[in-house]
Amino acid sequence: MAFPYMEAVVGVMILVYIFECYLDKRQHAALKLPTLPKPLVGVISQEKFEKSRAYSLDKSNFHFVHELVTVLMDSVILYFGILPWFWKRSGEFLGSAGFNAENEILHTLAFLAGVMFWSQITDLPFSLYSTFVIEARHGFNKQTVWLFFRDMIKGIALTIVIGPPILAAIIIIVQKGGPYLAIYLWAFMLIISLVMMTIYPVLIAPLFNKFTPLPEGDLRSKIENLASSLNFPLKKLFVVDGSTRSSHSNAYMYGFFKNKRIVLYDTLIQQCKNEEEVVAVIAHELGHWKLNHTMYSFIAVQILTLLQFGGYTLVRNSKDLFQSFGFDTQPVLIGLILFQHTVMPLQHLVSFSLNLVSRAFEFQADAFAKKLGYATPLRAGLIKLQEENLSAMNTDPWYSAYHYSHPPLVERLAAIDEADKKTD
């Protein structure tokens, strides 16, 4: 008797949803607490706490509805064989349009076009509500409806331009890969990721945001001096107009080898009280570079990708797997999709493990900035960003351990303060 893959996947999907719903309920209860955590009393203003609490509860309520609709929709699609039905319909559509339905690449592109259209339609109400109701209600949304749809259209256009060649290459590699298929797939995806990391900030990101050099002045000089002191090969220093879409703030760096760039959101500069706080945030980011966190994370992702492709090669010819989900053929893309569904529990465990590592990296980067003498401005900057972004002040430990890639503010401040005590 064949193993009931589809029933097992739907069952696991529902069990994962129940578990995550339990964590969401714990977090919702924490968000409803009417008082600040003791370490933040006198640090965060009561007004900001009340605003943060309202914002977090709004997002939590929205999340409950969104996740319920998502799990119901995904379960129905899998259980009632909508995927194989749509695969057949897309092939029939190709034939009626005069194309060769036996061409797997064309068939797959037609299938994905329909899936993309469906996902855009079903996700649009949630995106609109999140942006123009929740984010707007709490003062974050700055974009117009026109800008929202313009970004969406640009994203679809980029997918249409970039997606088909990559997908065609993957199908050809699987068809001709032989015993070294996993290595070929991994090598191809490694090249694609490196290319995308190179062209995204230069060609793609400017399609959505305006990047301008940080003006000459004290802030620029302090950042350049800090980078120079750490031998960070800073080539360009940009400000991005994040305020055209949201008042949330951020900062990041990118680039290979001797061509590094730092990008500051204009909202970050506006929200921090003084330049030292901005420089302290950059010191934290430079800590990730100096401690090789980015490289370690990249290597970990490559290892996991290779293992995933290795697992895929073990099941890609399994008729039982395809037939369990209602497919009488074994298309490459469908095999990849079904494999991802079957290893869902492992993916959640891996995600949890990566979060633990990421949280450890955040503590280390904070400690690095502290060693450079930025403990006080970093502390102030973290508090300011927490306040201005209305981030959750009360967090459930189970929820944050499972979901958060960054430690809660209380834990980060405690670590900085503990470092100070050891220094004194």
Distance CA 404, CA 27 (A): 12
Distance CA 197, CA 109 (A): 25
* Gyration radius from the chain CA atoms: 24
- Catalytic position from the list 285, 387, 388, 411: 285
Tell me the one-letter amino acid at 196. Answer: M
- Catalytic position from the list 24, 276, 366, 387: 366
Distance CA 83, CA 89 (A): 10
Question: What's the Cα-to-Cα distance from 225 to each of 16, 264, 283, 370, 378, rounded to whole Å?
Answer: 48, 16, 11, 17, 17
Distance CA 289, CA 293 (A): 6
As annotated, the binding site includes: 284, 288, 362
The closest of 70, 83, 245, 242 to 152, measured between CA atoms, is 245
The answer to whether residue 102 is catalytic is no
How far apart are the two ends of the chain, measured CA to CA in Å?
Answer: 69
Distance CA 183, CA 300 (A): 16
As annotated, the binding site for Zn(2+) includes: 284, 288, 362
The answer to whether residue 366 is catalytic is yes
As annotated, the active-site residues are: 285, 366
